[in-house]
Amino acid sequence: MIRSDEQRVADILEFADKLERYVLKGYDEFCSEFGTGLAVERLLELIGEATSHLSDEYKQSIPEIPWKEIAGMRTLLAHAYHRIDFAIVWTTATTSVPELARYIRAK
């Protein structure tokens, strides 16, 4: 089943909202609680996967978003687990994803 840009955007916003609930627990919880860390990583993967399937037209309509970097983070999390920098994952979850959601909601 092919999903529309609108459906993928809705997915991204849903994942961003869920991610916010995990990061509200704080960095210490993220680092020490295995399940919290995995949930944050997985939600970032899902966001990256959804963005990689958006149409070029949609992506070009918000050029401020670093689309390739988002997809690259997804690839890193999914395939290069041994190279994950948890400080970068945390910054992405707490800063980059909320910024992404703001841009998308403003469109």
Q: Which of 3, 8, 53, 74 is catalytic?
A: 74
**79 included as an active-site residue:** yes
The whole-angstrom separation of Cα 57 and Cα 19 is 27
Instruction: Give the model's pLDDT for residue 18.
Output: 98
Instruction: Give the model's pLDDT for residue 107.
Output: 85
pLDDT above 90 for 82: no
Q: Which of 79, 82, 83, 105 is catalytic?
A: 79
- Band of pLDDT at residue 23, cut at 50, 70 and 90: very high
How high does pLDDT run on average in the chain? 95
The whole-angstrom separation of Cα 1 and Cα 12 is 18
Instruction: Give the model's pLDDT for residue 47.
Output: 98
**74 included as an active-site residue:** yes
Between the alpha carbon of residue 33 and those of residues 9, 16, 39, 62, the distances in Å are 29, 20, 10, 35
pLDDT above 90 for 48: yes
H helix count then E strand count, the chain: 7, 0
The whole-number average pLDDT for the span 26-48 is 95
The whole-angstrom separation of Cα 93 and Cα 99 is 10
Between the alpha carbon of residue 4 and those of residues 7, 48, 58, 98, 99, the distances in Å are 5, 16, 11, 22, 22
pTM for the whole thing? 0.94
The answer to whether the CB of 101 falls within 8 A of the CB of 12 is yes
